[in-house]
Amino acid sequence: MPFKKNYFDRIIMCHVLEHINQPEMFIIETMSKLKKGGVLSLALPTDPSFLWRMGRLFSKIFFVKKKQNISSVEYDYLNAIDHVNSVFSLHSIINFHYGKNIIESYLPFRLKTFDLNLFYNVHIIK
């Protein structure tokens, strides 16, 4: 990232980390750009949790062919190459490095489980 270290008060990323090939290095580099007390706010899909997979199946059955004009196989392929990191892996990386400095929320049901939610939001405080 072409910014100085300790430059930002807050960095917000929505649905980014699941697409990054080396998320651990990316998070560490991003955190270095924050000032002391700065916050990295992340919104992640809970892919491949149960509820997320059910939503994707529902979309595949009812919308993909009609709206996107692609087959189910193409839809599954695009999801496979697009989401290279699971929420489980990303959560483990975040907890390992910053576990004591995070504020988490799970949506829409607010139960602390990926399988029964669609989104995981976390704020990492430097």
pTM (2 d.p.): 0.91
Which CATH number is 24's domain given? 3.40.50.150
Q: Residues 2-55: pLDDT tens digits? A: 899 999 999 999 999 999 999 999 999 999 999 999 999 999 999 999 999 999
pLDDT score recorded for residue 63: 87
pLDDT at 67 over 90: no
3 falls within a domain: no
Q: Please say whether the beta carbons of 126 and 34 come within 8 A.
A: yes
- Name the residue range of residue 93's domain: 8-125
117 falls within a domain: yes
pLDDT score recorded for residue 2: 87
68 falls within a domain: yes
Helices (H), the chain: 23-32, 50-59, 72-82, 87-98
2 falls within a domain: no
